[in-house]
Structure 1
């Protein structure tokens, strides 16, 4: 806690001390700022000195030891899934020159975040949110407001009275270095955005009050380079400078392979002025991962240390329309969507991983070292399936192909744990043109370097674009090269249906240059029961991409509840209060009106009160209904209770029973 007064002195260059900043917070993670009215707010108070001395405000918590790698990795994945944060590295636009490799854009410190990535990131709709958007594992950005809420204390025992607030719009960017265990965090105020929501008297004083902005991290194995920046509100309102701080990672604190560590970083904010006493706060934490893996190489350049943004689901993207690798994309699409229609033939359902549908449990792929036994076994199994040797014969192995013009392509990739030799997953092989297989393979090798995919640790997925190439790989496609603004897309409403081929509707799109952006989605030809997240993508002629998501829920047909052969639907129903059994019946049918007979579709059933018991669930073939027998205790009189059945399709069905004495 400190009183900043109305000091006009401020930092003129980086790094520099923040004059009047709160120095007592070293080694402490500040409390989370209040998110109110679209702004993150610290607090400041003025008034009775005795009340100020008694003021009990959150002071934060000491920095702790770094969390376990797997725990932090899982937390980052959960955040990415919850916020639908996905990145797409487009193989069609892969950069193959070391001089223009994405890694080289962030090798050296810069006074500004790299372009055109920053503009692309900030143009994303999600950038204007509390969580911002992770463009890819190299860059995160956000545009939001922050500031300070002001309160007064009129007497020693008074409750703080809200006076007003001062806020500014800002842009934040985090860029991972590829030559050091460093995340560079940038901050820039938007000139002219300061808003004084105050009385006329305080409004006249407020431009001279101060605001200190910084960045820091939350555990003892990371540190900040660069001091917080102090400016008056008047100065922030005209400032157009990118201020930056380095969040660094101490590799000696790690016992993990490749010295992996995860850290949380955040912006800090602290405002005061005149007689106001300020309390520091912070923005929500963002998870990064740092490593010292020595096997990343592009051309003749190696990248032995790096930090990446961890809160994103990373994808390698191929396009079926690509002249360079379209046949490989078609192969992967079939393997992911129709695994039973792939070689080698099996007589059990095939399970092929690597497609992300929005579910936390969607299995991804994990990279393995080329010198590993896993890699060698994958290649051995691939060759056997391609050549009908070993475990594969003329029925199960792939048919012969022209080896002078074609390669035998495999998916999942040979470089992954889930490849052909995996004991847990199935695989697919197909003959594809030599040049396309080599092109797709080269793109894969560049991708794992660009997205910093660690051996035996990182998970990634493969996206197949059916419409047109486009995405986050860098480089340039067709269209207007000066057009970096993505199109806008609004998804159709969520759908709930009993049909497995429901009508999804069409999204609405617009673009600043291209009047007919290409729209595709990843909807399956038939939907499973439950909820599927469909991602719609709009790509303009310049390759700029926008996405939105739509939830499609497929339900069983439920005919309502029966008792003693009588249909009661979901309405109130009177019954005596003596102890007795009630057997509820209900019928489920699928999309083709076939009766469902397997009780495993019922995930749970029960009453909304203690004392009731469930004696069992059976299927009555004579009536074509499930029957659930329940025991009702002598415990209710003139009381309504609800019985609910939950199904594997995600739906719940209830009936209200009004217990009355008769």
Structure 2
């Protein structure tokens, strides 16, 4: 049986728990650069110190924008905000590189009267937050803004509602969550100090403020680090310290790495941070890859109908990798291995056994001695290509000792197109060798 030295053990998904409105101590935030002069009204405070969903196959950004909806437009952001998941305390992981949230923060202000705390009023903000992971740097950029006009002042007396409540300060920042499964060789930091404005200024400020959460170091050859960050909102103001809430969002899981085998053409992506709470799913459309798509469907849904045939009666194939999004089901996952041009011995073995299974071509068999005419693919016309599933670049490929794979002769153009999409998927969803589970889904349109 095939044995693989796993570079890293599979790690459990990071827990996303806790309520948004929680009490706690002051944050550790990294001191950083001052805001650009073109962003008035924000006071960056220098301080000492340092659920899962299916991925929609997003790309990271090498040159990070100062707005999550620029320059590509608001399509992903509007779609993300429109989901009920975005209204949860931990927001929505839109895909492996993008996250969003639309939520509410309340700050209750008290004063002492005769030695007892008395509630003076409550300020409420409806805010939006978003994040995009870099694909050439070990960082993710966090964006924040109040929804225009979505700040309310409740319970204040009429005079204080106009003169006091809007002028109180509100401080915003992301912060790294200490002890969140990080390896001791990794560190997490926030690349700008907290932003602080009056409540009324936040309400009328149209732009996004942003910070970079970055990671250094990790485990293994790919320097993998699983870490977490969370949003922190603090409305403490002089004279109203007692009872003021410290708003801590639940931890949001990220994974950063320095794997050097990701590329798109000549462009390479040697570092990245992705969001962990998303299932990577490669989707093929029957309208674009009808022959490869049908092959994968048959292999997943009716594996015993596929070639090569099992040599033993009553012994059924179990071909992994199926994702059925409409039913929320998923089969055993697939795992990427080094490709043949990267001297990957598993991929080499997969290729040899695939050729043995479909070596009959016009009566010729150039890949003996493993080919067996009673179990291998029957002769097929020249000009077609032998397609295999699971892919040769996976640990579950044709060298599987139980013959849990399938081969089929398909159109060369279809096969080449499907292979190109697989390569782009590996990069766009940052599929690490041996570590990342992923699935394959075939849809009609």
State TM-score, norm by structure 2: 0.79
Aligned partner of 2:144 in structure 1 is 187
The 8 Å contact of residues 265 and 285 in structure 1, kept in 2 or not, is answered as: yes
Q: CA deviation at 1:359?
A: 7.1
Shift of 1:334: 1.1
Task: Select which of 307, 319, 336 maps to 1:367.
Answer: 336
Name the residue aligned to 1:256.
220
SS in 2 for 1:259: coil
Q: Distance in 2 between matches of 1:451 and 1:20?
A: 34
Q: Pick one of 331, 346, 354 that aligns with 2:295.
A: 331
The 3-state SS of whatever aligns with 1:203 is: helix
CA contact (8 A) 1:329 1:464 kept: yes
Go from structure 1 to structure 2 and tell me whether the alpha carbon gap of 1:144 and 1:13 turns closer, same or farther (over 3 Å shift).
farther
Please name the residue that 1:341 is paired with.
305
Q: 1:435-446 maps to which residues of 2 (within 5 A)?
A: 435-446=413-424
How far off is 1:128 after superposition?
Answer: 2.8
Look at both structures and tell me which one has the larger radius of gyration over its CA atoms: 1
Match of 1:355 in 2: 322
Q: Take 1:164 and 1:416, find their aligned partners in 2: how far apart are those partners?
A: 59
Map of 1:454 onto structure 2: 432
Aligned to 1:178: 135
Say if 1:206 and 1:273, in contact at 8 Å, map to a contact too: no
Classify the secondary structure of the residue corresponding to 2:323. coil
- CA shift in 2, pair 1:155/1:443, >3 Å: same
The answer to whether the 8 A contact 2:44-2:193 is kept is no
Partner-residue secondary structure (3-state), 1:272:
coil
CA contact (8 A) 1:344 1:392 kept: no
How far apart are the structure 2 equivalents of 1:270 and 1:226?
A: 16
Please state whether the residue corresponding to 1:418 is helix, strand or coil.
Answer: coil
Asked if 1:203 is matched to 2:181, the reply is no
Deviations 1:22-53 (A, max 9, x none): 947x46xxxxxxxxxxxxxxxxxxxxxxxxxx
After TM superposition, give the deviation of residue 142 of structure 1 in Å.
1.2
After TM superposition, list the pairs within 5 Å mapping 1:471-486 onto structure 2: none
Quote the residue 1:639 is aligned against. Answer: none
Deviation at 1:180, TM superposition (A): 0.8
Equivalence map 1:50-449=2 (5 Å)? 79-80=51-52, 85-89=53-57, 102-103=59-60, 106-113=61-68, 114=70, 115-116=72-73, 117-152=76-111, 154=113, 163-201=120-158, 202-204=160-162, 205-219=164-178, 221-251=187-217, 254-277=218-241, 278=244, 280-322=246-288, 325-346=289-310, 347=313, 348-357=315-324, 362-370=331-339, 371-387=343-359, 389-404=368-383, 406-423=384-401, 426-449=404-427
Gaps of at least 5 residues in structure 1 are: 3-9, 28-78, 91-101, 469-662
Indicate the SS of the match to 2:318.
Answer: coil
Seen in structure 2, the aligned counterparts of structure 1 residues 20 and 246 have a Cα distance that, compared at 3 Å, is closer
Q: Tell me how far apart the structure 2 counterparts of residues 240 and 182 of structure 1 sit (CA, whole Å).
A: 25
Once the two structures are superposed, residues 553-594 of structure 1 have per-residue CA deviations (whole angstroms, 9 ceiling, x without a partner) of xxxxxxxxxxxxxxxxxxxxxxxxxxxxxxxxxxxxxxxxxx
Change in CA separation of 1:181 and 1:12 when aligned onto 2, cut-off 3 Å: closer
Q: How far has the Cα of 1:447 moved from its partner?
A: 1.3
**1: CA distance, partners of 2:105 / 2:222:** 37
Partner Cα distance (1:264, 1:425) in 2: 41
Aligned-partner Cα distance in 1 for 2:133–2:273: 5
The answer for unaligned runs of 5 or more in structure 2 is: 1-24, 27-33, 179-185, 361-367
State the secondary structure of the residue aligned to 2:149: coil
CA distance in 2: counterparts of 1:423 and 1:217, whole angstroms: 45
Moved more, 161-170 or 287-296: 161-170
Q: 2-side partners of 1:109 and 1:442: how far apart?
A: 26
Contact 1:17 1:227 in 2 (8 A): no
- Cα deviation 1:526-578 (Å, max 9, x = unaligned): xxxxxxxxxxxxxxxxxxxxxxxxxxxxxxxxxxxxxxxxxxxxxxxxxxxxx
Mapping 1:523-602, distance limit 5 Å: none
- Distance change (3 Å), C-alpha of 1:180 and 1:155: same
Asked if 2 retains the 8 angstrom alpha-carbon contact of 1:320 and 1:329, the reply is: yes
* CA shift digits 1:181-204 (9 cap, x unpaired): 111111111110001122324423
CA displacement, residues 610-662 of structure 1 (integer Å, 9 cap, x when unaligned): xxxxxxxxxxxxxxxxxxxxxxxxxxxxxxxxxxxxxxxxxxxxxxxxxxxxx
- Length, aligned pairs only: 384
Going from structure 1 to structure 2, the CA distance change for 1:20 and 1:355 (only over 3 Å counts) comes to closer
Contact 1:382 1:420 (8 Å CA) reproduced: yes
For 1:579-658, what aligned pairs fall within 5 Å after superposition? Answer: none
Larger relative contact order (CA 8 Å, sep ≥ 6):
2
Change in CA separation of 1:194 and 1:392 when aligned onto 2, cut-off 3 Å: same
Q: Give the drift of 1:364.
A: 1.2
Query: Shift of residue 153 of structure 1?
Result: 5.0
